[in-house]
Amino acid sequence: MPAAGTETPLPLGERVPDFDLPGTDGARHRLGDASPANATVVVFTCNHCPYALAWHDRILAVADDYAAQGVRFLAVNPNDASRYPADSFEAMQRRVREKPWPMPYLHDESQGVARAWGAAVTPELYVLDADLQLRYHGAPDADHGDPRLRAAWLRTALDEVLAGRPVSHPATRLLGCSVKWRPER
């Protein structure tokens, strides 16, 4: 059995913990960056999970579609690369080189961010408002196997955050691969 992460998900409506992680682009990326975003999406994802891979293109399409509205996306890989080499930083760099992403791909090597956020699976999405308060937590849409859904839950949450409205369905059921925690935890 994999070791469990923290069992406590972040509370909706509260400001999320900050982080500062290295990206495959060679830069460090801080969540509480000086440049403000109208909304921010943090995606815990990885290289080897079929659910993350199946939803990947849909999430990238949302990042492209909402960039002009000042929405920032940050992808975070929290998996233990020592047991899952497909999720090593080098493998992450290779993946982004092969097909560029419209968002930084960050390495949570210590798994400290995943623990602090209570991330449990990949993919797992967090939508934050301009004040970095959590407004949506869940999956991109209802079915990883149906690309026609176009990450509808994520798009709806973003539309509502950008309009300054409460998110109508702020939490949805997660489906994905468990975060691969280090065995010593």
Size of the site for another protein (CB under 8 A): 19
Residues 6-45 binding another protein (CB under 8 A) are: none
How many DSSP H helices and E strands does the chain contain?
Answer: 4, 9
CA 121 to each of CA 56, 77, 164: distance values in angstroms, whole numbers, following the listed order: 14, 11, 28
Q: What residues form DSSP beta bridges with 42? A: 74, 126
Q: Taking contact as CB under 8 A, which single stretch among the options 9-17, 47-55, 133-141, 161-169 is the one that binds another protein?
A: 47-55
Contact between 58 and another protein by CB under 8 A: the answer reads no
DSSP state of 122: E
For another protein, the closer of residues 48 and 150 by Cβ is 48
Sole binder of another protein in the list 85, 100, 112, 166 (CB under 8 A): 85
Sole binder of another protein in the list 17, 22, 84, 162 (CB under 8 A): 84
Contact by Cβ (8 Å): 111, 182: yes
What tokens were used for 23?
Answer: 């990206």
Other CB atoms within 10 A of residue 162 CB: 16
Contact between 61 and another protein by CB under 8 A: the answer reads no
Positions in the binding site for another protein (CB under 8 A):
1-2, 48-51, 53-54, 83-85, 144-145, 147, 175-178, 180
